[in-house]
Amino acid sequence: MTTATRRGILAVVTALVLVALGLGVAFAVGDALGIRTEPSEQMRPAAAVVPEVAAPVPPPELTTLDVPESERVGVAVDELLDAVADAPAREGTASIAVDQAQTLRDASDDDGYELRGDASALRIVARSEAGTVRAIYDLAAQVRAAAPLTDLVGAHERSRLPLRMTDLGAVGVAPDPAEWEFGDDYSHASKAFAAVVQPEAPYIDDAALAEAYDDFDGFLRHSLANGFNAVAFPGFVEFVTFDGAPGGPVYADGDDHRDKALALREAFAPFWERADELGVKVFLRTDMLALTGPLEHYLTDRFGTLDTEDPEFWDVYTAGLDELYDAVPALDGVLIRIGEAGAIYDVGGWDYYSALEVTTVDAVRTMLEAFSGQAEEADREVVFRTWSVGVGAVGDMHTNDASYEAVLDGIDSPALIVSTKYTLGDFYSWLPLNHTLEQGEQRRIVEFQSRREFENFGAFPNDLGTQYQWALQQLLAANDRIEGVWVWTQDGGPWRAGPMSLYLKAGFWQLYELNTQLAAELAIDPDADVADITADWAREWFSDDPETVEAIVAAMTRSRSAIEQGMYVEQFAEQRVFAIGLEPPPMMWIFEWDILTGDSAVLDVMYSIVRDSAGAAGGDAEGVDAAIASGAEAVDAVEAMRDVVTATDASSWRSPELRDAFVSTLDYELDTLRLLEAYRAMILHEGLWHDTLSPGAHDAWAADRAAFERRAAEHLEQYEGDLDHPAFNLTAAQLGVERAERDLVMAWLARGLLVLALAWVVIGMLAARTRLVAKPGAAAARATWIASTRPWRARESTLGMFDLDRWLLFLVPVALLVATRAVQTAFLSWTHVAVVIGAWTVFALVLRLLVRRRSPWPVIAAVGGVVVLRCIVTLFALSFTGPGGYWFAFWTDPVLRTAYIALAFALFVWVFVAAGWALTAQVGGRRATGFVLAAVGAGLVVPSVVVGAIGLERVLTLWNDEMGLLPWGLARILGITTYLDIPGETAWFAAAFGAVLLVAGVLLALPKRRPAS
């Protein structure tokens, strides 16, 4: 066998090995992407209906009130008297008396009662104080609903769910328009009590504290009237000195953390005591780990790390709870979340922060055993949220039955309550009922959100009554351990990135008050008539005119359809989608919370799911047409809602301002859904073009683009700067449009470059065997072809070339590489081009320095020839529908993605194999390997150091903004590295690896020392 034959066989074997490795990389990429779908079982609530609304009945003047004397009863009576005073008229007189089995306040949660008597004399027969106050609040609600008090005559069983908790609403939050003005503050910190807590001693602003106390008292009164009896109050470590921590105090003498804790505890203890006085439980709401700087140092000094699996670690926190409960007996327990933490929840300037450290099954179990044991001893309760959102080994505890059991099986403390959202995920529509609420031996409560953060923060009508009822009825039938609800009246998501609506104090909060009242009423009686509750809400806030009330309720019956069809793409939303080890929510095209996304990953996968929803027989366009039609149906629903509300008699409304608010919010929803309708059509037709290459689909996209741009301009002109109706953030969508507009031009450029590149290769192939080699430039083409495919002949292929050929040998691959990368990025990502070309430049310069006086042309021919072949592969992929089509295939077609990655990877590695092989004839195999390793290492070190110095998150954000691959909002809200779990030190790890290659290469490149003679 000749040397040439052996080399040829070795080259073929090497190529096959590289392709096999490329296939392995492709499969690894596909596995990492993990893009798949499965059917999702939808909730099946009854259709919303409009009840027959009776004429309003004025309440009687209350002449006699014979009730027990207690603050709790007195506050309930205040609500009843206020309701009567607020009524437009009164008719007749009535007396109310109470027969209560226990006249003093008791701990009974039996709030059943019986109402006896007639319109002129009513008697409440209650089994406890809880029954008395419930009866009085029911009478007040009846007055506000303009319904006869005698409708309540009869027996009322104890509430089905005794624990009915709220968040803190907007208590202590200042409605400062300047903080909402720009709409880009995605912090989840409420900044509650920011005016109260001061950085310097005495740490408390007394005037602000008094105002906040009144705010809190008003919130408690309102919540009690709605039927709630518990509140989640933010904070924990802020109130603890940790003087009794095992191993000694946490804070050193003179540390202001201790003084501040005492000051804050003294300031807020009256808040908690007031709640206790009114029969409202108080749970301190905290993330775990909750930390201060000194506390973190104490824990790491004592345990080496934040070792959350060590039982003694949690003794520090339980000692803090013992301290709090001893100091303020009014506190009832603590509410813990482990799944979200970090800077997005921190308040600038405060040394109180949280960290995601409780991420393993053992850590969670250890924590819960410690907290529940402490709660049992202290006669308190601990509420644990299963909201783990993808973090660590317990990341799917919220949605996965097996993970729930792994964490909680066997932890059956009577002091432990487990809290879980009713949806199988976050508070989105189209999600299944959370089946993890049907399991476990623990006490359970169900979480609801009134001001739906992902559905524009309650700025659109959104009647969740039938869904809440169906969910509760299903869950209660399946699990008798459910004993309560937790209703978020305000919280969830960023506080200042949406409309400036603050519960009870700013904006159109009355709109989402409906869901708060529905949740409370259904917790008391899951079989309550939700249509009547909606009508009562309309009467309380807007009008007592039957026709107007019916019109408002009729509008609300369409609200869910408008939201579900207008803000979601049904065919996508009704599937469970999995990607990158996570389960993206059903509303990915509107990326948390108001960002209309323009990235290829989301929109291409969404299109593919929409396309496939029609089935194999339906064709590509049928699913697209159906999805576009759904957007139009949502617009029709809002138009009908607006028509029915505007047709009401303006004089029949309690307040012209509230009528204007209702009409304005419908105008806002109509404008927004029209914008979304146009955008939906545009992105789906764009996907159809990439998928089918149909000119008709491209024409439809062009028409949709014009419609979207018109709608976008109108939307921004109308609502930009409107604090009540803020414009959606269209930056990402407009960037996506800009990229899409270039796709066809880029496709033609790619075709042109592809023809030139193929011509170069063909000339090289022909010139190797014909007289064409004598033509100008042909020798260079011949050399690149031979050196790239048979690099051991690189030196001979470059002998005798003229200067022109040498210049072409160098310039053609460089120009083709730059042009290909520019086209691949649609001339929009110079970051991408700079990193790629920079790395290649460093590689080439180091290689040139190492070659020194030897001829560089053999290695230039080998590397340049493979670069041309590599560019041909990319240009072919770009030649169909440009960069958009390139990424469309990557995200949606596993076969094409695998083939492309395998071939591209093989050619990429072949560059370095060919370079080493070409150098072998000049310096030998060992030194040639060293030259290439050193050049590769330098080419990796330099850009990695630059990226590390700038910051990986910043560089990835800039790159992604230019490329549009992942949601634009990712960096603004969560951070790309955080979301994808990329260590922040990755660039430095890469630099270190490159340095190792560089050093190893230099050592190999050193000439052998001659033995001493």
Q: What is the pLDDT of residues 665-721, one digit of tens each?
A: 999 999 999 999 999 999 999 999 999 999 999 999 999 999 999 999 999 999 999
Please give the Cα distance from 122 to 154 (Å, whole number): 11
CA pair distance 105, 128, nearest whole angstrom:
8
Q: Are the beta carbons of 339 and 391 closer than 8 angstroms?
A: yes
Integer Cα distance of 261 and 250 in angstroms: 12
pLDDT at 495 over 50: yes
| DSSP state letter for 651 | G
pLDDT on residue 345? 47
Partners of 121 in beta bridges: 95, 118
Section 611-618 average pLDDT? 70
The confidence score (pLDDT) of residue 342 equals 61
* pLDDT, mean of residues 54-82: 96
Distance between CA atoms of residues 52 and 61, nearest Å: 27
CA dihedral 941, 947, 948, 953 (to 10 degrees): -150
pLDDT of residue 1010: 63
User: How much of the chain is helix, strand and coil, in % rounded to 5?
Assistant: 60, 10, 30
Nearest alpha carbon to residue 929 among 947, 949, 915, 909: 915
Q: How far is CA 749 from CA 756, 875, 878, in A?
A: 11, 9, 9
Q: Are 287 and 338 in contact (CB under 8 A)?
A: yes
Q: How many helices (H) and strands (E) in the chain?
A: 33, 19
pLDDT tens digits for 770-809? 777 778 888 999 999 999 999 999 898 888 888 899 999 9
- Ranges 98-102, 297-301, 388-392, 995-999: which has the least confidence: 388-392
Least confident of 578-592, 678-692, 910-924, 984-998: 578-592
95 alpha carbon, distance to own chain's centre:
54
Owner of token pair 């800039």: 958
pLDDT at 188: 86
> Which DSSP string corresponds to 818-862?
HHHHHHHTTT--HHHHHHHHHHHHHHHHHHHHHHTTS-SHHHHHH
pLDDT above 70 as % of the chain: 97
What is the pTM (predicted TM-score) of this model? 0.93
Is the backbone peptide bond immediately before 289 cis, with ω within 30 degrees of 0? yes
3-class secondary structure for 292-329? CHHHHHHHHHHHCCCCCCCHHHHHHHHHHHHHHHHHCC
Per-residue pLDDT at 3: 76
User: Which pLDDT value is given to residue 777?
Assistant: 83
* pLDDT computed for residue 901 by the predictor: 96
Q: What local confidence, expressed as pLDDT, does residue 615 receive? A: 67
pLDDT value of position 391? 66
CA distance 929 to 1005: 7
Distance CA 493, CA 345 (A): 10
Residues 6+ apart with CB under 8 A from 709: 737
Average per-residue pLDDT for the chain:
93
Least confident interval from 83-92, 402-411, 759-768: 759-768
Please report, for residues 105, 121, 559, 858, the alpha-carbon distance to residue 669 in angstroms, rounded to integers and kept in the order given: 48, 48, 10, 66
What is the sign of the dihedral through the CA atoms of 368, 371, 372 and 373? positive
Amino acid making up residue 966 = L
Provide the residue type at 572 as one letter: F
The residue with greater pLDDT, 582 or 42, is: 42
pLDDT value, residue 937 = 95
Among 748, 610, 689, CA closest to 888: 689
3-class DSSP state for residue 967?
A: coil
Q: Across residues 350-360, what is the average pLDDT?
A: 87
* Helix or strand run (H / E) with residue 156: strand 154-156
Residue 968 CB: number of other CB atoms within 10 A?
Answer: 23
Q: Evaluate if residue 116 carries a pLDDT over 60.
A: yes
